[in-house]
Chains A and B, each alone.
Chain A
Amino acid sequence: GAGVSQSPRYKVAKRGQDVALRCDPISGHVSLFWYQQALGQGPEFLTYFQNEAQLDKSGLPSDRFFAERPEGSVSTLKIQRTQQEDSAVYLCASSLEWGEVYTFGSGTRLTVV
């Protein structure tokens, strides 16, 4: 597609519920990144994929967070047993190669109640 597409745009989850957030990167983009943006803050790195390989997951805040990109295109970020502190905007970005310009999606705003 023309841009990075994320869904859903908004998600309200009850505490303890599992959620799955989807990212559809620009076709042909090798690199895919997930970021978390808390209210009033800059985005913070969560994880990085090069094609289907998850090369860095050092930013994932806990083992409740899991990301995959099984065929090297669409990626899913899963959060198990959501907590209130997980409330944030989750942003996906892709780039043609590493070191290149990032294109961000519109994000998924997750609210845990």
Chain B
Amino acid sequence: GIQVEQSPPDLILQEGANSTLRCNFSDSVNNLQWFHQNPWGQLINLFYIPSGTKQNGRLSATTVATERYSLLYISSSQTTDSGVYFCAVSTDTGFQKLVFGTGTRLLVSP
């Protein structure tokens, strides 16, 4: 099956700093989503981005499908950005079962 690796595994930032999270995947994908899991366990969808670039406020994401990676950029980080960031992908052409990556645990300190 497809392998999804995320880096770095852990990241500690001072409030206001910028960061880049990376997701590498081992096969072509039809679906790629970024999620934030907050400290209470809620998974929030950030982006649906199988290719191209999207921006939403302080967050943006880019997927280079031909090179099998995606990047999530967080600018001017806030303490509420803390949690675990997951990249999830699917290679299916029918219903798309998402395979989650290993996650990046982010801690933003005041």
Q: A100-B48, A101-B33, A102-B33 are in contact. Are A107 and B97 (CB under 8 A)?
A: no
For residues 23 through 79 of chain A, which have their beta carbon under 8 Å from a beta carbon of chain B? 31, 33, 42-45, 48, 50, 55-56, 59
With both beta carbons as reference points, the residue of chain B lying nearest to A98 in the complex is identified as B95
Chain A residue total in the interface (Cβ 8 A): 24
Residues in chain B near residue A59, CB distance under 8 A: 97
In whole Å, how far is B64's beta carbon from the nearest beta carbon of chain A?
A: 20
Contact of B42 among A33, A45, A101, A104 (CB under 8 A): A104
By CB atoms of chain B within 10 A, which of A31, A33, A42, A107 has the most? Answer: A42
**Cross-chain contact B94 with A42 (CB below 8 angstroms):** no
B100 at the interface (CB under 8 A from A): yes
Question: Which B78-110 residues have a C-beta within 8 angstroms of A?
Answer: 86, 88, 94-103
Closest to A47 in B: B97
Assess whether B51 is interfacial by the CB under 8 Å rule: no
New A-B pairs, 4, CB < 8 Å, besides A42-B86, A42-B88, A101-B45: A98-B95, A100-B48, A107-B41, A109-B41
Q: Can you list 20 A-B pairs with a CB-CB distance of less than 8 A?
A: A33-B97, A42-B86, A42-B100, A42-B101, A43-B88, A43-B100, A45-B99, A55-B95, A56-B97, A99-B30, A99-B31, A99-B96, A101-B48, A102-B45, A102-B98, A104-B35, A104-B44, A106-B42, A107-B41, A109-B41
Q: Which residues of A contact B (CB under 8 A)?
A: 31, 33, 42-45, 48, 50, 55-56, 59, 89, 91, 93, 98-104, 106-107, 109
